[in-house]
Copies of this chain bind each other. A is one copy, B any other.
């Protein structure tokens, strides 16, 4: 079709959209007694609904200000957080219930752990070994609630093999029956109910993931990953699916032979990049395909 034959250009329109306030850093101290508790979160709120006029005309009459969303987060925290999942559910109810044109949204949180210093009542040290995550997608009456963790770095110094892979023109990798296996666990799991003890579930899932990693004699990181997810689903009927994204943090055995030394799997170079990247969903047979929304949350298809 030449330019002169070209059909009248289609009108350009707004598609999917969302907006809000990201990374609201909230620290809640519960001090009913001398023994304080702290909850430390980064909360994001984004609204879905009829916001076309703001985009096409700069008409803000529907735009619940991102500053208002931030204020709401702090005001709600006055009643306590409880768990990131509960807190996000409250926010979703508030925003979808309070404004006719807000039909849904995306709410997300990271939570950071603190341990008491020597059992002190009000002194704490931050536990940076992992970050707890939660994402809630609401559309109409539907709720997709996904819990997770990330940045949980684990390593096995033996009990990992890798061989039997196909060899083509570009294959140079040697087979091995003993290597270091190391990864940073990012896990997301989808709840099928919202009336749950989310904190207890988090602790349970975390422990299952760690045990799955530690106890699996690994022939492939894929195998370890599947077993980690399998254990979670087996133990928790309230979870429909687990998604894992695991870098293979390569530890290369250093060749010490030029220096007249052997190296029986003792001295390794820990590489930064590139790294393997292994990702999968683990689910129950016969389950309906998850809503596309879930792909969006999980970040891969």
Contacts and interface: CB of A to CB of B under 8 A. Distances in A.
A12 B233 contact: yes
Contacts of A283: 12-15
Interface string A15-50: 111111111111111110000101010101010000
Nearest to A17: B280
Classify chain A's interface size. 35 or more
A12 B261 CA distance: 46
Contacts of A122: 156-159
Contacts of A78: 256, 261-263, 266-267
Interface in A233-251: 233-234, 237, 241, 243, 247-248, 251
A281 B15 contact: yes
Interface string A146-171: 00000111111111001111101111
Contacts of A243: 15
B13 A285 contact: yes
Decide if the interface of chain A is mainly helix, strand, loop or mixed.
Answer: mixed
Contact of A154 (B123, B162, B166, B264): B123
A5 interface: no
Interface in A64-81: 64-68, 70-72, 74-75, 77-78
A157 B280 contact: no
A30 to B, nearest CB: 7
A201 interface: no
A151 B129 CA distance: 12
B222 A269 contact: no
A276 B279 CA distance: 30
Nearest to A297: B301
A285 B10 contact: yes
Interface stretch (A55-63, A82-90, A191-199): A55-63
A68 B171 CA distance: 5
Given A12-B230, A68-B173, A296-B301, A219 B58 contact: yes
A296 B285 contact: no
Contacts of A65: 162, 165, 171, 173
18 contacts: A12-B234, A13-B285, A14-B282, A16-B295, A22-B247, A24-B273, A27-B180, A58-B223, A61-B164, A68-B172, A74-B254, A118-B214, A125-B129, A126-B129, A170-B259, A272-B272, A293-B301, A296-B300
